Amino acid sequence: MSKPRPRWDQQASQPVVTRVTRSSSTKASETQLLQPQASGPSPDRVQPRKQTDSVLAQGLSQMTMSGQEAHPARKGRPFKTSSSNSGSPPAQGGVSLGSKQRPRGSREGLASVARLVKLGRCKNVVVVAGAGISTPSGIPDFRTPGTGLYSNLKKYSIPYPEAIFNIDYFSEDPRPFFSLAKELYPGFHRPNYIHYFIRVLHHKGILLRMYTQNIDGLETVCGIPDDKLVEAHGSFATASCHLCYTPFPAEDAKSTIMSDQVPICTFCAGTVKPDVVFFGEDLPQKYFQHAADFPKADLLIVMGTSLQIEPFASLVNTVRPGVPRLLLNRDAVGPFLKTPLRRGDHVQLGDLADTVRTLADMLGWHSDVARLMRAQEDGVGCQCHDGEFSVRGPEEGQRAGEEGGP
């Protein structure tokens, strides 16, 4: 049963509100681009043409982003789209970009950014992160050949890899996603050095916001406050019916899924799923803070992402001209593939955890990151005053946690 779509009636008395949906901008999805039908498409989307392997591939059809407002009937969750603007091959983790691959960066870019931070010129840092920041925690990224999630989905018997996160396919058969969800649910992995480095940015008072594509919840586990975090592709923290959007207790949904059963909505008998944003679903309302955040940024750090999923990928282009942008990645991606780079852009390629450790050393923050990690593992609290960290005893840490302290 496919998800009902609202009518886009130009003659309606109420104004038509455009929506934005999630989609992949990889070359693979470009071959699935579907042409407008002769009768004319809806004002906000390209109409699908059936693929030979499965009619359910319609859900990966590319959408044109014509606005950023949420439709009121969708719980205020904005709608995701794709724009095939880069034409670059997919890259995540260790994917090679062939002739477009930039040389591995020297430390000059890191040193330049570290110098700006130490001089106090970066007071509003925005971090854009993808699956690559969680691979040191043992969670595979999506597109690395051989090890990426999309390379290891044969056991789920799906027509194409992205189908497992496609809302139309889920409507027809939720079992493949629920099988995968049992492996993805938070609680089986721990944050790593990269997560705690970002938390140190917060404790230093310079993290404006972190925008993450990840659904693993490790940013929250490591202590990044909710008001500093935008989980652009949702999370497992809440659940709802995928048809009527009635909220469903997240723990009940988890226990049902873990028992190899399908959670059912008590209101409409639709299938309940965690509020992870699928291709074709609305973005969380919180995502649209970007309209205010990115113009304020005086430093953008991009790490562990292929910049292949829209509209998230285009966020990196919305900072003011000349604002430093630092890419920490295994491969050059998106606008960082250009030669020459835009003024203020810096690229450091290589193992992400090693690169972040190097940057922390340049900033003199390694001991702070290590102290936070030890405190978290030991179950004690960690306070920060004027940029200096102190570890509480176990009783103090427990009491501060109950009181909502850092």
> Residue 233 catalytic?
yes
Cis peptide before 15 (omega within 30 of 0): no
- Reading the block at residue 357, the tokens are 């450790």
Q: Which of the following is catalytic: 71, 233, 242, 366?
A: 233
Residues serving a catalytic function are 233
